[in-house]
Amino acid sequence: MIKVGIVGGTGYTGVELLRLLARHPGVELTAITSRGEAGTAVADMFPSLRGFVHLKFSDPKDAPLSDCDVVFFATPNGIAMQQAAGLLDSGVKVIDLAADFRIKDVALWEKWYGMTHASPTLIAEAVYGLPEVSRTQIRGARLVANPGCYPTATQLGFLPLIEAGCVDLGHLIADAKSGVSGAGRKAEIGILFAEASDNFKAYGVPGHRHLPEIRQGIARAAGKAVEQVGLTFVPHLTPMIRGIHATLYARITRDEDFQALFEARYANEPFVDVLPPKSHPETRSVRAANTCRIAVHRPQGGDTLVVLSVIDNLVKGAAGQAVQNMNLMFGLDECSGLSQVPVLP
């Protein structure tokens, strides 16, 4: 059994990790940390886990994390980079669900995240954990940077087109919407029920932290420099709890059978579902599942492709993808613990 520790188990991604790992056949939950809730039974905070998780939250300084085989960081940005080196030196593998190791350019990371990186030498080693791109590298990794939710939906939607080189790399648009759980489990005016319900708004238009992550991934897929990627990324907050819907626009430079292109690219991917022509994927069709559903459209036969990509931001966009990465790192069936059918309604 793989001994698992979770640092920061009280947020939405933390409890989602607990939900998935509690029923994983190859996992033994060993430690779950929280400074503020140390000593509290996990099931008292999250009644949904009653009968499935029997641990109490422990203070990070007392938690037996070095006894684990893998530790997940479900923490705010800036935490994993301070603790990862010590765990790695102890032989523990690390999966960071925050952004500490996603961006390879340290100066660029520091610019967007507004802090000095505590472990810049580990950035080069960290493997970006998008299995549909880096499966082989993930299998041999000891440190995985789990992708962000917007970047996951956006990259999976653009990827076949970028790899085929049939769209204009300099004029890409990602118009993405997220439910309020993407903002985390914290008290914040903008995500209060009375503020977010019956409302719809864009945010981060001048620049969002996920922009450099997406551009980096697109550049890698294209085999080009990041500076050659022209991406306009606009996120929106929608009045729902879970889900991301990314509407992606790309200018065609070479004709292809685009439906066949997507179907071939993802034919062997267990968690990417390319829908039939003329489909419109819905966020509720992936709720609570580690699935990305994609549809490809060419409106009026014009020169612009529209790709629709939906995921659950807490599963394929965070905890589910992290478990998928853990499975790969330990040589398990990639789908182990991730066979949940989406929830409807």
Give the pLDDT band (50/70/90) at residue 192: confident
What CA–CA distance (Å, rounded) separates 64 from 241?
A: 33
- Residue 184 has a pLDDT of 83
CATH architecture, domain defined by 2-125 = 3-Layer(aba) Sandwich (3.40)
139-161: average pLDDT: 98
| CATH 3.40.50.720 domain locations along the chain | 2-125
Q: In what order do the strands lie in the sheet with 27-33?
A: 27-33, 2-7, 70-73, 93-96, 143-145, 127-128
CATH architecture, domain defined by 150-313 = 2-Layer Sandwich (3.30)
Hey, which residues are catalytic here? 149
Asked whether 130 and 217 are in contact (CB, 8 A), the reply is yes
Query: pLDDT, tens digit, for every residue of 48-107?
Result: 999 999 999 999 988 999 999 999 999 999 999 999 999 999 999 999 999 999 999 999
Q: Which residues contact 212 (CB under 8 A, 6 or more apart)?
A: 103, 105, 108, 109, 112, 226
Q: Which residue, 184, 196, 30, 179, is CA-closest to 99? A: 184
| CATH 3.30.360.10 domain locations along the chain | 150-313
